[in-house]
Amino acid sequence: MQEKSVITSTIETARGVFAPGHLGELTQVVDFALVDAVLEETGRREKRLRLLPSRVVVYFVLALALFEHRSYRTVWSQLTAALTPLALVRPAVSSLTRARRRVGAAPLRRLFETLAGPVARPGQEGSFYRGLRTVAVDGTLLHTPDDETLTWHYPKRAGEGLEFGYPLLRLLTLVECGTRALIAAAFGPESQGELPYAKRLLTSLDQTMLLLADTAFDGNEFLDAVHQSGARFLVRSGARRVPTPAEHLGDGSYIARIGYGVLPVLLPVRIIEAALTVTLADGTVRTEQWRLITNLLDPVRYPSAELVELYHRRWQAETTYFSIKATMLDGRVLRSRSTDGLDQEVYALLTAYQALIRAGDDALTRRPEVPRERISFTVLLAAATDTVTAGHGIFPGTPIDLVGTIGHAALSDLLPAHRRQRVKARTRKNPTSKYGPNAGQHPQKAQNYTVHTTVAFFAHGLNSRSQR
């Protein structure tokens, strides 16, 4: 005997030509009113109703970020898969390309700026240290198409006799630790270093924040600018800095002043030097010397050992970039072949990422005892793309449930509660890699490790490190 089930579902979407403009359940984060408002604000709303209204184009560009491995036509099919009874027009690729050009980058930039910002609740585990919101700044590189329409602005790397690799776009972000939410972003040609872009992020800092950063941001003017913003900082210093102790403190740290010949008024800072002994699972032992600089001057309220441990949260920025570059982009080259198109694509990528982070944070309203680090970004992305194809959750239900399909998927497939410390395998495969001097200094496969920290005063300074 054959049995069958008949399942019918009701799909609610926008009316008429606006119907394809959605992002599944993420539409509740990036809602119609918000998109219409940024289009109006940036002057990109259509003056006459088209088959591809500007609102639909914005959602299409965001969908491209969620389906980076799909073509234009395939992404359009994902947006309309559940809407076949509406007999919607299927635009040509050339029409979609012209529509992207017509809308431009400004609405996507404004959309990102509106959604960007911290999401952790006050005191949330992993996001705060002694009342301060911990944030990290770092940079990464994205590959752009090797096309003459771009290489004038995004030049390729060049050696003595030839150019090589793809043109590179440098991306700097300010990330909230714990949640990995994006607070601000700046990007442009790789030919500029990280500090010029990082300075554009300083307006997003305030007195409630503690900024974590690596040695690339150990500049006197940058640290002074962070201090002037009211924020605290905890930055790793390079070996070339030679601070003179003005006062030794009881926890092994000392007070110094930096900015001689650079700053009009010297900046008082606290220097923490420590030896870290890392023992890998295979028995390999490596000792590193660290020097941290901070404007948290009170050694009683902010003990040195705690700050050395806290500095590890800086890697939240690296995890953020892994989610964007490996999970969303899957290592692919950006698809746009114009500078304005690249701006639009990158802002769409950051907006889609931030919408996923906000959906993950909403999921914790159901189970606030779950640490945010247990929410899998891969699960969030997979669940979100499923709702796009199914046309599910475009409008909120009644009563409104913040968790939804995406949240339930994340909560049902949490990451392990106790995650082991693991060191990443790093093998230099590219002969032109800038990491050449570091060859042989890292394990060939991922391993567990233990670390022991000893705060000490290095009277003769730090050992020199290999330059990348």
Asked whether residue 305 carries a pLDDT value surpassing 70, the answer given is: yes
pLDDT bucket at 467, cuts 50 / 70 / 90? very low
Side chain identity, residue 148: E
335-385 per-position pLDDT tens digit = 999 999 999 999 999 999 999 999 999 998 888 888 888 999 999 999 999
pLDDT for 468 equals 42
> Residue 427 above 70 pLDDT?
no
Beta bridge partners of 235: 213, 293
Q: Kind and range of the H or E element at 54? A: helix 54-66
* pLDDT for res 162: 65
d(CA 323, CA 321): 5
Residue type, 165: G
Q: Tell me: pLDDT of 465 over 70.
A: no
pLDDT exceeds cutoff 50 at 417: yes
Query: Three-state SS for 2?
Result: coil
pLDDT of residue 138: 97
**Structure confidence by residue, pLDDT tens digits, 34-91:** 999 999 999 999 888 888 999 999 999 999 999 999 999 999 999 999 998 888 889 9
pTM of the model as a whole: 0.93
- The continuous run of DSSP H or E covering 56 comes out as helix 54-66
Q: What is the CA radius of gyration of the chain?
A: 24
354 exposure class (CB count in 10 Å sphere: 0-12, 13-18, 19+):
buried
Distances (CA, A) of 90 to 48, 49, 68, 102, 278: 20, 17, 20, 18, 58
Tokens coding 3: 């049995």
pLDDT for residue 205 is more than 50: yes
Average pLDDT over residues 400-429: 77
Domains and CATH numbers, the chain: 117-275+287-321 (3.90.350.10)
Q: Residue 364 in contact with residue 408, Cβ under 8 Å?
A: no
Which pLDDT score, from 0 to 100, does residue 139 have?
Answer: 96
SS3 assignment, position 101: helix
Three-state SS at 341: helix
Mean pLDDT over residues 182-200, rounded?
A: 95
In the structure encoding, which two tokens stand for residue 364, read together?
């914790």
Alpha helices in 158-303 (DSSP H): 194-199, 220-228
State the average pLDDT for the chain.
Answer: 90
Tell me the pLDDT tens digit for each residue of 91-130.
999 999 999 999 999 999 999 999 999 999 998 989 999 9
The position carrying tokens 């974590």 is 212
CA torsion 175→180→186→190, rounded to 10°? Answer: 100
Residue-wise pLDDT tens digits, 214-264:
999 999 999 999 999 999 999 999 888 889 999 999 999 999 999 999 999
Whether the link from the prior residue into 189 is cis, omega within 30° of 0, is: no
Single out the residue of 225, 261, 219 nearest to residue 240, CA to CA.
219
Give, to the nearest 10 degrees, the angle between helix 377-390 and helix 54-66.
140
